[in-house]
């Protein structure tokens, strides 16, 4: 980062100028304004990151700039919003349509839902061009897809979104956004739903586009790791206000506002933070050569079922008091393995020993003897608690059925609620009264109610904001130590894994390709895949000081992040000589 010259002089008139913008939320919301007195300037060719937790108003602000506010529920009540000197707020729908797509491109968070599943991707790119009176020849579309580094651009246009991977879909979404050569690209958490390695590729693509086309990029994220990778300037939002903004280097080096410091501190550090695990503890879980094949649906007119080998010959053992992180991308089979261990899926082959006793089928785990031993924390805080049941029922129903008395169950519940940082008096509420982080704590309390010895945590923090992640991780870590649990922590994020794990097992295509103590794996990864995962972690290269040794020896073939600078230099086109507009900072 230090090698890059800062954008020294203001370049042209500001592209986006927001002054004292207030956007009102509908009445009965938890606060009056979604966006509260925001002033913001963007110049051409810069990457501005808006950082904040969910609910901070950052997406609403971005929608307002693109003229995408739903007028009935979110209204601008004060302030002005200019795009290239034009008042966006005063524009009616036809004017906004000329702006959107043509001059402002928008990339949404969820690549699964941002594309129409019924149309081929080529058709969707063509529509973006035709809507603004551009020609949409197959060559033009192929050229755009090629510019997005999509494979086989000549024929990819004929495929449907479901035939593409998440990263490829997001590339198509970007192709649509930049099809008409916009000046501003708004990217609303475009990589949050993606794997780390895919995320790194998408970020690189956005920066390349910026360099080639002189795009300005308004990038919305909650992850300071991503910010480090791409931002020229940063604006930090909290409760609808911008609490701090400034050039990226300065702000990252010297954050002024408490909230910024908190967010920065919450970014998980890639370092082994736990002491070496005790080797003499008894082995709780022993897996030998676990195999699992997923049978697909039988295809119409075909007798053959499509099968996928989800887990291939996995060996794993866990001792009491030890946390092992299972790290891999989506589709690597890590969740399948977690479900086999909890009994939600049956394995096809392999040995499974729990506490020294063999588990023959998944059914064995549902016996009163074994069920309390293995518990699970689920990924999605929105769907892991029954919305109709009170917290009391969610926590106590299983133990009551195990034959525990009501007084004892109530006592355990009160104790655990306090342990996870909630008042025991919340027991009568239902899940919708809680935030995502709180729900995840309740999910943890539920898992601990049965006093398990092995806890499987399947991506327990990946649906949470970074700042909430840190709290939940710390809580997991504390409780795991206090109770001496064996924990299998499934995650796609090596940073998170390094925070909690004694050992890390890296999984790829159903196999464990490397397993080592956390510190060893981070400092000297042996497999190419582990190196690729390490290289893809956002913010690590920028954050690592020159003194830190380059931890990768050979760049992996697929992920060439190390071979060239991620952030290309962008020299803005000939700035006007007379211009003296200062950059607001």
- Residues making contact with other proteins (CB under 8 A): 28, 30, 73, 342-344, 366, 368, 371-372, 374-376, 378-380, 383-389, 397-398, 401-402, 430, 432-433, 443, 446-447, 449-450
Tokens of 205: 């693509």
Question: How far apart (Å, rounded) are the C-alpha atoms in residues 460 and 504?
Answer: 16
> 114 or 463: whose CB is closer to other proteins?
463
Pick from 334, 305, 249, 265: nearest CA to 506: 334
Nearer to other proteins, 100 or 446 (CB): 446
Q: Which is nearer to other proteins, 256 or 389 (CB)?
A: 389
SS3 assignment, position 491: strand
Q: How far is the CB of 402 from other proteins (least distance, A)?
A: 7
Nearest 5°: phi and psi at 269?
-85, 145
Which C-beta is closer to other proteins: that of 176 or that of 318?
Answer: 318
Q: State which residue, 63 or 375, has the beta carbon closest to other proteins.
A: 375
Q: Which residues does 55 contact at the CB level (< 8 Å), separation at least 6?
A: none
Q: How far is the CB of 357 from other proteins (least distance, A)?
A: 18
| C-alpha distances in Å from residue 231, one per residue of 111, 326, 474 | 22, 31, 29
- Least spacing, CB of residue 474 vs other proteins, in Å: 23
Identify the helix (H) or strand (E) that includes residue 346: none
Q: Is the dihedral of CA 81, 87, 93, 97 positive or negative?
A: negative
Least separation in angstroms between CB 178 and other proteins: 33
Which H or E run includes 330? none
Phi, psi of 458 (to 5 degrees): -95, 105
Q: Which helix (H) or strand (E) holds 412?
A: helix 406-419
Closest separation in Å from C-beta 401 to other proteins = 6
Q: Shortest gap between Cβ of 449 and other proteins (angstroms)? A: 8
What lies within 8 Å, CB to CB, of 28 at 6+ separation is none
Residue 241: Cβ-neighbour burial (10 angstroms; 0-12, 13-18, 19+)? middle
Minimum Å gap between C-beta 467 and other proteins is 21
Write down the least CB distance from residue 197 to other proteins, Å: 26
Cβ of residue 389: shortest distance to other proteins, in angstroms? Answer: 8
Neighbouring C-beta atoms of residue 282, cutoff 10 Å:
11
Nearer to other proteins, 238 or 375 (CB): 375
Q: CB-wise, 274 or 446, nearer to other proteins?
A: 446
CB of 24 or CB of 215, closer to other proteins: 24
Please spell the DSSP secondary structure of 197-237, one letter per residue: HHHHHHHHHHHHHHHHH--EEEEEES-HHHHHHH-SEEEEE
Smaller CB distance to other proteins: residue 219 or 378? 378
Nearest partner of 207 among 572, 576, 570, judged by Cα: 570
């Amino acid at each position: 980062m230090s090698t890059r010259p800062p954008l020294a002089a203001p370049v042209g008139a500001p592209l986006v100028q927001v002054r004292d913008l207030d956007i009102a939320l509908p009445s009965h919301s938890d606060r009056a304004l979604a966006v509260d007195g925001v002033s913001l300037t963007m110049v051409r060719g810069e990457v501005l990151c808006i950082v904040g937790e969910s609910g901070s108003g950052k997406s609403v602000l971005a929608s307002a700039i693109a003229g995408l506010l739903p007028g009935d529920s979110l209204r601008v009540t004060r302030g002005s919003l200019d795009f290239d000197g034009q008042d966006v707020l005063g524009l009616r729908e036809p004017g906004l349509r000329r702006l959107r797509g043509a001059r402002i491109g928008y990339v949404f968070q969820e690549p699964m839902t941002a594309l129409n599943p019924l149309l081929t991707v080529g058709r969707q790119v063509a529509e973006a061009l035709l809507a603004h009176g551009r020609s949409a020849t197959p060559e033009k579309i192929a050229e755009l897809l090629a510019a997005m580094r999509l494979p086989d651009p000549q024929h990819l246009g004929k495929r449907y979104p479901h035939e593409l991977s998440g990263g490829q879909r997001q590339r198509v979404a970007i192709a649509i956004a930049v099809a008409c050569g916009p000046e501003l690209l708004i990217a609303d958490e475009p990589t949050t739903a993606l794997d780390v390695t895919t995320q790194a590729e998408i970020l690189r693509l956005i920066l390349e586009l910026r360099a080639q086309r002189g795009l300005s990029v308004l990038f919305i994220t909650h992850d300071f790791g991503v910010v480090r990778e791409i931002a020229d300037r940063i604006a930090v939002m909290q409760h609808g206000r911008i609490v701090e903004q400034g050039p990226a280097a300065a702000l990252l080096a010297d954050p002024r506002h408490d909230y910024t410091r908190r967010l920065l501190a919450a970014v998980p550090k890639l370092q082994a933070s736990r002491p070496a695990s005790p080797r003499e503890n008894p082995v709780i879980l022993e897996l030998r050569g676990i195999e699992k094949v997923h049978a697909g649906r039988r295809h119409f007119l075909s007798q053959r079922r499509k099968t996928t080998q989800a887990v291939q010959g996995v060996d794993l053992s866990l001792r009491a008091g030890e946390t092992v992180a299972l790290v891999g991308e989506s589709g690597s089979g890590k969740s399948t393995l977690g479900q086999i261990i909890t009994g939600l899926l049956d394995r096809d082959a392999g040995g499974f020993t729990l506490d020294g006793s063999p588990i023959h089928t998944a059914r064995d785990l549902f016996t009163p003897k074994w069920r309390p031993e293995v518990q699970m924390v689920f990924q999605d805080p929105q769907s892991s608690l029954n919305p109709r049941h009170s917290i009391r029922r969610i926590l106590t129903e299983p133990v009551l059925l195990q034959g525990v008395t009501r007084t004892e169950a109530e006592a355990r519940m009160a104790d655990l609620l306090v342990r996870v940082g909630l008042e025991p008096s919340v027991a009568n509420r239902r899940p919708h009264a809680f935030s995502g982080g709180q729900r995840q704590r309740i999910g943890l309390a539920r898992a601990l109610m049965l006093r398990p010895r092995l806890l499987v945590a399947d991506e327990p923090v990946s649906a949470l904001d970074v700042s909430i992640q840190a709290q939940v991780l710390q809580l997991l870590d504390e409780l795991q130590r206090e109770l001496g649990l064996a924990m299998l922590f499934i995650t796609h994020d090596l940073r998170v894994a390094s925070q909690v794990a004694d050992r890390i097992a890296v999984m790829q295509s159903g196999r464990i390709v490397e397993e080592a103590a956390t510190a060893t794996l981070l400092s000297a990864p042996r497999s190419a895949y582990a190196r690729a995962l390490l290289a893809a972690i956002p913010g690590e290269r920028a954050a690592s000081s020159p003194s830190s040794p380059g931890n990768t020896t050979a760049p992996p073939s697929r992920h060439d992040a190390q071979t060239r600078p991620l952030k290309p230099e962008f020299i803005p086109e000939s700035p006007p000589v007379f211009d003296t507009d200062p950059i607001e900072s």
